[in-house]
Chain A
Amino acid sequence: MSIPTIGAPRSRVDGPDKVTGAAKYTCDRALPGMLHAVVVPSTIAYGRVVSIDDSQARNAQGVVLVMTHRNAPAVDQNKVGEQDAKLFLLQSDEVEFDRQPVAVVVAHTFEQAVHGADLVRVHYEMRTPQMALDSGTLFIPKQIFGAPAAHARGSAEPALASAHGKVANVYRTPTEHHNPMETHGTVAAWDGDELTIYDSTQWAFGVRTRLAGVFKIDPANIRVIAPFVGGAFGSKGTAWSHVPLAAMAARATGKPVKLLVTRPQMFGWVGHRPQTEQHVSAGASADGALVAMIHDVTNETSLSDEFVEPSAVFSRDLYAVPNYTMHQELRRLSISKPTYQRAPGESTGGFAVESAMDELAYELGIDPLELRLINYAERNPNNGKEYTSKKLRECYSQAAERFGWSKRTAPPRSMQRNGMLVGWGMATASRATHRGESHARITMHPDGNVVLAVGTIEQGTGSPTVYPQLAAEVLGIGHDRVRLEWGDTNLPEAPLAAGSQTAASVGSATVLAAQALRDRLASLGGKIPDDGITIEIDAKVDEAAENRYAQQAFGAHFAEVEVDPDLLHVRVSRFVGAYDVGRVLNAKTAGSQLVGAVVWGISMALYEKTRFDMRTGRIMNATLADYLVPTNADLPKPDLITVEDDDERVNPAGVRGMGEVAMCGSAAAVANAVYHATGVRVRELPITVEALL
């Protein structure tokens, strides 16, 4: 029996709960006797706390505790893993960035805690912050996500020098803050030496490891529960300072404590995409074949951490260019630690490289799409490996057809409609496929219903809907007979839900568990024992098998913009994309992921930028009124498709990751369309009116 369930556009099983408010997020948790904590963030970016007057705050109604570096318990704020951020747990008077935690006020109600936090007077000795990218102390990383940070194949410089046509330009992307709808938040409760944490996180197990390090306790004594997560996008991939601060406040007061991060504090200690400066040179022969490319990337990092935004990964792995070099370096500034933001590396790198390809196309007089096809890589250009599957050519052709690319006239300002300048631009999408080790437990009860248990999380991507679909497909039963248990370190361990790796990781564990269950059931002649059947599996990642093929997701973006010829307002009027992501598990949730990524790419192209006062390091647009993202009125209804591709070589789930690929290159498609419309090449994001005047 086979019931077609995979790929079906099944609605979210938790949709009704989410839209009616029945779904509980961390901020909805209330424990008996619970207190509320609010962080007092620093108002300087660099210096030290000279004194704190907390007398008014301590005497305010309802305030139970004001915790500062003078009375905070000693904990270990050092990093455990390489990717961990240095935590700021009130262990010293040093201030390293704007909105660093300098005190925590605990009160009986949230409002009392907010008021108490306003009453804490902190006096600082301010030092001059390092804010300009080129003024920061240089740091050369050894590696980026396991690969060399400086790398070459062939000999790029001489090849570039003798190229028929070439471009060499600098592209810049700004600091950007994630701002998921649900801000960060933690509820902490101690029972003796046992700690229970509710946290809005992408990785309950990672939070547990970090807290064990901070408090020097056995991870077995910590349980982390991750209720529904209202968006994360990388910002909740690690336990930031407020998580242990909540636990410190709970221990100090002897009561459960809820600590919610406010919207302005989302611009503080919880990560951001770092600004980048990217030098891209590309040269080609007269027929358009790339002969050389050089991609040098500098990104900002904090004084105490090294986060690499691996932008050059995009150029390294995409086109068939024989002579290539890349180089990544960091500059230390008086800012908080940057972190992963949706498609780290390839989103920023995609903007630079796909803009450069557009510039090269004009330089050579070759259609931008044609230039990509001329340089199509049949194998990974960097390691020569065969792909598990690659349907990028189909992406180009299907999306170009839907968009009507063949009707494009090449010269800038050559297309107009209703008095508006019209521009058409395109770009390639590319993103590495990742997978991590995941455990899973599957139980078939005597009534035939199945429970799949994995300690992954639900951040809006559809875990409770999609993994049961996948198990049901293997078992040949209806998807409504499988239920997912998730979001708890008491369940089988799952990896960090990031890097578009969750479906590959948890999905593969699900498939393997369901296959084992199916086989056991068959061996029992189809008869379920009275105590049911339970299978636990550990879906390890076989490194040798992983390295046999190159694994990448691809796509093609086509954007149309309308530009007011006088007021120079840019509006994206059409966006067509086709994506090659392997097997699609659920057309509906997958479609939502693509739309989200494309919208974010448009947002990156035209709206988002964190604006610092360069004299003080203070962020001056830390609200959603001032940090712009597009409204519905700014957006077309994107026309996005996936190409058919049952990738049987990549992993048991057959997926290559789709949460991020549509974000890679999408900003470049918009920027290229703006050039086509106006004749103005903007190499710094966001593209705002002053760049076009």
Chain B
Amino acid sequence: MNPFAFARADSLAAALAAVQRSPRAQFIAGGTNILDLMKDDVERPPILIDINALPLRTIEQRAGYIHIGALTRMSDVAAHPLIRAGFPMIAVALEESASPQLRNMASIGGNVLQRTRCPYFRDTATPCNKRHPGSGCGAIGGVNRMQAVLGTSEHCIATHASDVAVAFAALDAVLHIAHAGGMREVPINAFYREPGATPQVENVLAPGELIVGIAIPALPYGAHSTYVKARDRAQYEFALASAAVALDVRGGAIRAARIALGGVGTIPWRAREAEELLAGAPPTRASYERAAEVSLRGARGQGQNDFKIPLAKRVVVRALETVSA
């Protein structure tokens, strides 16, 4: 761990100004991710800007969407009546994440920015193109049981670790981002970048920008949604494979579907082809199995993680059966 300075920002303007003054500065909210990475010497920010005093902790209904302040704690988002009633997949994804202690600390804005759990990224004694561009990918040919099978490249197979970002991807959430010149909005499905040849670039957030809120667009059938997570133990463990799904079933047919996968992609993995396949199909296991097949199209295992491909298909089927039951 490197020595670092610590400063508190009491306004959004002050927070943005602070990172402009010190470009290698990092924001800290709950600190559940950045502090781990600093202890492992993976991140070495000279200064942390504490943004916890910023007024970004509300959840409210706005015209056409629910707005979640970026500093809202995971546990508070999961417990909120608007979320529980309108988008159970968000509540379930959060409650299936981490531990109660972590959920009480971690902010929702920080959650969507959490870094991969790939052990090579977190061990400075090993090569990792994401941490040290050009050093190689240790996970390819190494310990890769937890790594991604979708969206990988020859340079990186690191899995995106977030559960709730998978639900956000399914729901076409929009990130509200502040910068020194004002605000901009970025759909979450345009926010993350697959690793390609530049795994160190994980998203389109520019230096000096701060996520201040997440908008969940209205979705009438969002109430018919869930999140299914397969993992090695019942609590406090990352996904082997997960699926956030919502189904609009009326008159004995599927009108529309939302499907996104977690634990298997280098980014939260939206399965649009599968959604299109389900639209108009009967709500049967056979339909779900076809959708699951399509969801994993293009998946490529690395040996230890080959099992994730059949497992993820089963997870998709289970999630669809659960919401249509």
Contacts and interface: CB of A to CB of B under 8 A. Distances in A.
B235 interface: yes
Contact of A569 (B1, B117, B230): B230
Interface in A642-693: 688-690, 693
A620 B233 contact: no
Interface stretch (B23-31, B119-127, B208-216): B119-127
B119 A631 contact: no
A633 B231 CA distance: 13
B289 to A, nearest CB: 11
B142 A613 contact: yes
A567 B318 contact: yes
A628 B232 contact: yes
A98 to B, nearest CB: 9
A40 to B, nearest CB: 11
Contact of A693 (B145, B237, B307): B307
A361 to B, nearest CB: 29
A464 B233 CA distance: 36
Given A634-B233, A689-B232, A118 B145 contact: no
Contacts of B143: 611-613, 620-621
A631 B235 contact: yes
A571 B123 contact: no
B123 A618 contact: yes
A118 B2 CA distance: 8
A611 B234 contact: no
Interface in B291-325: 306-307, 310-311, 314-315, 317-318
Chain B contact patch, size range: 20 to 34
A689 B233 contact: no
Nearest to B318: A566
A567 B232 CA distance: 11
A616 B318 CA distance: 39
A566 B319 CA distance: 11
B1 A118 contact: yes
A376 interface: no
A115 B314 contact: no
Nearest to A626: B119
Contacts of B64: none
B236 interface: yes
Contacts of A607: 232-233
Given A613-B138, A618-B123, A620-B119, A689 B240 contact: yes
Interface residues of A, number: 34
A111 interface: yes
Nearest to B234: A633
A684 to B, nearest CB: 14
Which residue among B145, B233, B236 has the maximum number of chain A CB atoms within 10 Å of its CB? B233
Contact of A618 (B126, B236, B307, B310): B126
A625 B117 CA distance: 10
Given A612-B143, A633-B235, A689-B240, A566 B119 contact: no
Interface in B263-307: 306-307
A261 B120 CA distance: 22
A630 B235 CA distance: 9
B237 A628 contact: yes
Given A114-B1, A615-B142, 4 more contacts: A111-B1, A567-B315, A571-B234, A689-B232
Interface of B: 1-3, 41, 117, 119-120, 123, 125-126, 138, 141-143, 145, 228, 230-237, 240, 306-307, 310-311, 314-315, 317-318
28 contacts: A61-B3, A118-B1, A118-B41, A567-B228, A567-B311, A567-B314, A568-B311, A568-B314, A569-B230, A611-B143, A611-B145, A612-B143, A615-B141, A616-B142, A618-B126, A620-B120, A625-B117, A626-B119, A628-B232, A628-B237, A630-B233, A631-B235, A632-B235, A633-B233, A689-B230, A690-B307, A690-B311, A693-B307
8 closest residue pairs by CB, A with B: A43-B125, A690-B307, A633-B234, A620-B143, A633-B235, A620-B119, A613-B142, A631-B235
